[in-house]
Amino acid sequence: MRGITLRYLLLRLARFALTVWLGATLIFVIPRLSPSDPTDAILGRLAASGAGVDNADELIASYTKRFGLDDSLLVQYWHYLVNTFTFSNGYSLSQFPATVDDLVWAALPWTAGLVLVATLLSFLLGTLIGALLGWPRTPSSVRRSLPMTLVFTSLPAFMLGILLVYVFAYRLAWFPYAGAYSADVSPGLNLDFVGSVIHHGALPVIAVVMVTMGTWALGMRGMMVTTAGEDYMVLAEAKGLRSRRIFFQYGVRNAILPQITALGLALGTIAGGFVVVEAVFAYPGLGSLLYRAVLDNDYTVIQGVTFYLILGVALAVLVLDLIYPLLDPRISYERT
Compute the radius of gyration of the chain from its Cα atoms. Answer: 24
Q: How many CA atoms lie within 13 A of 22 on its CB side?
A: 7
Name the pLDDT band for 109 (thresholds 50, 70, 90): confident
Q: Quote the percentage of the chain above a pLDDT of 90.
A: 0
Name the residue type at position 108: L
| pLDDT at 67 (0 to 100) | 64
Q: Quote the percentage of the chain above a pLDDT of 70.
A: 78
Q: Which of 98, 16, 60, 61 is nearest to 300 (CA)?
A: 98
Burial class (CB in 10 A: 0-12, 13-18, 19+), 57: exposed
| pLDDT at 39 (0 to 100) | 63
* pLDDT 10s digits, 132-186: 887 777 777 777 777 777 777 777 777 888 888 888 888 888 888 777 777 777 7
* pLDDT 10s digits, 229-276: 676 776 777 777 777 777 777 677 777 777 777 776 666 556 555 677
- Angle, vertex CA 40, rays to CA 34 and CA 43, nearest 5: 155
| Segments of the chain assigned to CATH 1.10.3720.10 | 106-296
The DSSP annotation for 16-42 comes to HHHHHHHHHHHHHHGGGGSSS-HHHHH
CA-CA-CA-CA torsion for 52, 54, 57, 58, nearest 10 degrees? -80
| pLDDT at 54 (0 to 100) | 58
Instruction: Specify the CATH number of the domain 106-296.
Output: 1.10.3720.10
Would the pTM count as exceeding 0.75?
no
Query: Looking at residues 70-75, what average pLDDT do you find?
Result: 76
| pLDDT at 333 (0 to 100) | 57
* pLDDT 10s digits, 298-329: 778 888 888 888 887 788 778 777 776 665 55
The answer to whether the CB of 138 falls within 8 A of the CB of 226 is: no
